[in-house]
Amino acid sequence: MSDDRRAFFRALVRSDAGEPAAPPPEPAGLREEEIDRYSRQLVLPEWSEAAQLALREASVLIVGAGALGSPVAAYLAGAGVGRLGIVDSDAVELSNLHRQTLHFTPDLGAPKAESAAAKLRFLNPEIVVDPYPARFAPAMLEGADLVVDCSDSFATRYEVNAACCAAPTPLVEGGVLGLSGLVMSIRPGESACYRCAFPAPPPPGAASACAEAGVLGPAAGVIGSLQALEALKVLAELGGGLLGAFLQVELAGHAFVRVAVRRRPDCPDCGGA
């Protein structure tokens, strides 16, 4: 970047960083390299140096490093989230590669959490990436400001929802199958949780998995990208997120339907929160 362009972005983030009257104390500002790296989001009217610094201070736990976790982790690493925890107990398989874009053919057999972490460190060496090659456990929420659930099983989804409600930790849920998907953001105690929206998992056999029903790579990419967008909205407090609602996405006909969801007072996960 030329000195002129750097000065332009520096002036821009300064002008956007707050009113002259009593700005709140904040950590040291962005370094020159960070202004270069994040210049295309810093220039957005919705973004600011304060938003960028909030991202730098944030810790996000991503559950699943597969079809949804790949775009989520790549976008959050690229955007400058300071710490990413990557949870996945599986190893990379050949049938993953058409949709799980953080893993390549030479990674076959490697733990997905490690394979993903290696690519994310290449993408952004400014951030810390902690791989957890294990199943999700509530103790992993320690220190997390946000969880993005990119798992592919209903059992894990309900387990993550319950743990986030108990913590409480904000959560972005997502799921994809075939050409359909769903995204939902949750602030426990304030907005409906995943179990408020879906009180019980589908009966065994009613919901097929990717292995039987199939999934197209770009469909997972759309849902994962929407989850990443929600995560940035939550972390930077941009507003306009999918709180108290979920987004049903039908990509065969390009239909996006926002469905409002109320909290259930008797919800076993968030009702007593």
Q: Among 99, 103, 195, 233, which residue sits at the site for Zn ion (rule: CB under 5 A)? A: 195
Decide: 198 and 186 in contact? Cβ < 8 Å.
no
Q: Is 196 in the site for Zn ion (CB under 5 A)?
A: yes
Q: 106 or 265, CB closer to Zn ion?
A: 265
130-137, long-range: CB < 8 A, 24+ apart: 130/83, 130/84, 130/85, 130/86, 131/85, 131/86, 132/85, 132/86, 132/87, 132/88, 133/88, 133/89, 134/87, 134/89, 135/87, 135/89, 136/63, 136/87, 136/160, 136/163
Pairing of strands 245-250, 180-186: antiparallel
Q: 85 or 175, CB closer to Zn ion?
A: 175
Q: 238 or 273, CB closer to Zn ion?
A: 273
* Calpha distance 56→76 (Å, rounded): 11
Q: Is 164 in the site for Zn ion (CB under 5 A)?
A: no
Cβ count within 10 A of residue 90: 16
Q: Is 65 in the site for Zn ion (CB under 5 A)?
A: no
Q: 50 or 267, CB closer to Zn ion?
A: 267
Q: Is 193 in the site for Zn ion (CB under 5 A)?
A: yes
Q: Is 182 in the site for Zn ion (CB under 5 A)?
A: no
Interacting residues with Zn ion between 254 and 273 (CB under 5 A): 267, 269-270
Q: Is 147 in the site for Zn ion (CB under 5 A)?
A: no
Q: Shortest distance, CB of residue 267 to Zn ion, whole angstroms?
A: 3
Please identify, among the stretches 68-76, 185-193, 199-207, 212-220, the one whose residues bind Zn ion according to the rule CB under 5 A. 185-193
Q: Shortest distance, CB of residue 197 to Zn ion, whole angstroms?
A: 8
**Residue 104 CA neighbour count, 13 Å, CB half:** 4
Residues that contact Zn ion, how many (by CB under 5 A):
6
* Calpha distance 188→200 (Å, rounded): 18
Q: Shortest distance, CB of residue 166 to Zn ion, whole angstroms?
A: 11
Q: Shortest distance, CB of residue 61 to Zn ion, whole angstroms?
A: 20
Decide: 108 and 83 in contact? Cβ < 8 Å.
no
Q: Is 63 in the site for Zn ion (CB under 5 A)?
A: no
- Given the rule CB under 5 A, which residues bind Zn ion? 193, 195-196, 267, 269-270
